[in-house]
Amino acid sequence: MFPEILEFGRKGFADELLRGAAITLLIAVSSFIIGLVLGHIGAIAKLYGGPVSRGIAAIYTTVIRAVPELVLILLLFFAGTRGISALGEAVGYGPIDINGVLAAILVLAFVQGAYSTEVIRGAIQAIPVGQLEAARAFGMSPLQVFRRIVLPAMLPNAIPGLANLWMVVIKDTALVSVTGATFELFTATKIAAGFTKRYFLFYFISACIYLAMTLVSNFFIQKLERRLRRGQQELG
Amino acid sequence: MKKFRSLLLAAATLAAVNTIAKADLVFGTDAAPYPPFTTQNAAGEWEGWEYELMVAICAEMNEKCTMVPIAWDGIIPALLEKKFDGIFGSMAMNDERKKQIMFSDMYYDSMTVMMGPKGADKNFTPETFKGKTIGVQASTSNANYAEKYYVPAGAALKAYKGQDEANADMAAGRVDYLVADGISQMSFLATADGGCCEIYGPVPHDAAVLGNGVGVGLRMEDTALRDKLNAAFKSFAAKGGFETLNAKYKLEGLMAVPPKG
């Protein structure tokens, strides 16, 4: 049915590709979540922070969005490890080993954080000021205002932008293959293609796997958005 | 709370990724396939002459070793960053590299050759390269050689991330010549794509650029590991290990290896 090279097990590359896809998802999910946390911190710093935190957030989003991810990955993986290891030793953790997966997650999360800062900031600013004033008038603490008003009102606005970022981070994981040390989907594809010399076949298969990841996540994002927008009037 | 839980989960997965058992010694090699020396196969394992040599040498040293892939152009920075203990990847011991890293004794030596399309003019004195394109693997001694001798003569250099990619472009006719290792190119000639081309001959030797053979690349301070490796190479050679390995890969007479006695 299938040519031997597409079988599972010792003779085929199906299991290698699947393992690569799993690592791709691990990198994408982890960096997206960490990026979301950084994005919230960044957005709050930009909107409510004092001059210092505003400045730091501005530098962060400007610099990170300006430097190509590829450069950041190479910088962290081949040059940054010593700095992080020294930092680890300084706080008594011993040397920290930055493997390919961890370097990928750190870099992509850092990049995602910068972009989601802007998405979340925009979504928060789209909330009518009156709603926040009303919440404050009821005596809610800033944290309560954030949890009860800002978060639920901002999320529907943020979802389309964040969904974009999720698509981008899935594809950005392929950049990590430049280090050759991380067995994500694109590295697995290159190994399979290089070993069998069937370049078109394996690049096509991996394109299909990336497409499948996108289609499946689109389905869930749509469901999530519909739930978050419940009670809202539909346009038209 | 949910978000916090997923964060914890991510942290736990990360920790799991990081605690994958490490062998006693880790050697880095080119992530791109480099037959017949190092290739990752469909079983997710390493194979090739050089991988088997590493296993045998580690058995001599009584060490547990693993091989890890790394992009060739980043292999020296990665060694210096302590991502692994040594480079076991057909690295020629040339002067430029000796400024940054230290090498074990030579474990094989082969020739750098000029490869071109079948049936073309086999003359490859520098004058023939005006307006021609030469494919090389980036960050190799072969690339440095072409840079030194053929670029001044008017050749354009095309650098590839892996030798396999350079070979594929040679077969597709996108480069006019390849400057590459003779043994890896013999193995390319044996494939279906290899029908395009032939080896025109070895390039004139320049030890400063091409180095005198291949050794294990090590950090300058790891002299104990170097001495251990050298002793292991010696005892492996004395047993006739290189001859057995070369017979298995049909490389007899094609490469120089450490002498038996």
For the entire predicted model, the pTM comes to 0.86
Report pLDDT for A159. Answer: 95
Tokens of B75: 């292999």
Q: How far, in Å, CA of A113 to CA of B123, rounded?
A: 57
What average pLDDT score do residues B163-173 get?
Answer: 94
* Residue range B205-241, pLDDT digits in tens: 999 999 999 999 999 999 999 999 999 999 999 999 9
Q: Which of B54, B110, B101, B65 shows the shortest CA–CA distance to B233?
A: B54
Which is it for strands B133-137 and B25-30: parallel, antiparallel or unpaired? Answer: unpaired
Find, in chain B, the residue whose alpha carbon is nearest to that of A187: B31
Report pLDDT for B99. Answer: 97
Of A13, A16, A78, the CB nearest to B74: A78
Which is it for strands B197-202 and B112-117: parallel, antiparallel or unpaired? Answer: antiparallel
Confidence band (pLDDT; 50, 70, 90) for B16?
Answer: very low
Instruction: Give the SS3 label for residue B40.
Output: strand
Instruction: Report the gap between the CA of B82 and the closest CA in chain A (Å).
Output: 9
* φ/ψ of residue B251, rounded to 5: -110, 15
Packed helices B241-248 and B223-238: angle between N→C axes, nearest 10 degrees:
80
Q: Cα separations (Å) of B219 from A96, B81, B101, B216?
A: 19, 10, 5, 10
Query: Is residue B17 scored above 70 in pLDDT?
Result: no
* Residue range B134-146, pLDDT digits in tens: 999 999 999 999 9
Tokens of A199: 């370049």
Amino acid in the structure at residue A11: K
Whether the bond between A142 and the residue before it is cis, its omega within 30 degrees of 0, is no
Of A15, A195, A199, the CB nearest to B41: A195
Q: How far, in Å, CA of A98 to CA of A83, rounded?
A: 11
Query: Is residue B132 scored above 90 in pLDDT?
Result: yes
Q: Which residues of B touch A (CB under 8 A)?
A: 3, 6-7, 10, 13-14, 17-18, 30-33, 39-44, 68-72, 74, 77-78, 81-83, 162, 164, 168, 191-193
Q: How far, in Å, CA of A117 to CA of A158, rounded?
A: 10
Report pLDDT for A76. Answer: 81
Confidence band (pLDDT; 50, 70, 90) for A231?
Answer: confident
Confidence band (pLDDT; 50, 70, 90) for B20?
Answer: very low
At which residue do the structure tokens 């880095």 appear? B28
* Mean pLDDT over the full length of chain B: 91
**ipTM tops the 0.90 cut:** no
Find, in chain B, the residue whose alpha carbon is nearest to that of A106: B14
Q: Which of A64, A70, A178 shows the shortest CA–CA distance to A111?
A: A64
Confidence band (pLDDT; 50, 70, 90) for B94?
Answer: very high
Report pLDDT for A77. Answer: 83
Beta bridge partners of B214: B92, B108
Provide the 8-state DSSP code for B215: -
Least confident of A92-106, A156-170, B73-87: A92-106
Q: Which helix (H) or strand (E) holds B160?
A: strand B156-160
* Residue range B41-75, pLDDT digits in tens: 999 899 999 999 999 999 999 999 999 999 999 99
CB contact under 8 A, A181 and B78: yes
3-state secondary structure B94-154: CHHHHCCCEECCCCEECCEEEEEECCCCCCCCHHHHCCCEEEEECCCHHHHHHHHHCCCCC
3-state secondary structure chain A: CCCHHHCCCCCCCHHHHHHHHHHHHHHHHHHHHHHHHHHHHHHHHHHHCCHHHHHHHHHHHHHHHHCCHHHHHHHHHHHHHHHHHHHHHHCCCCCCCCCHHHHHHHHHHHHHHHHHHHHHHHHHHCCCHHHHHHHHHCCCCHHHHHHHHHHHHHHHHHHHHHHHHHHHHHHHHHHHHHHCCCCCHHHHHHHHHHHHCCHHHHHHHHHHHHHHHHHHHHHHHHHHHHHHCCCCCCCC
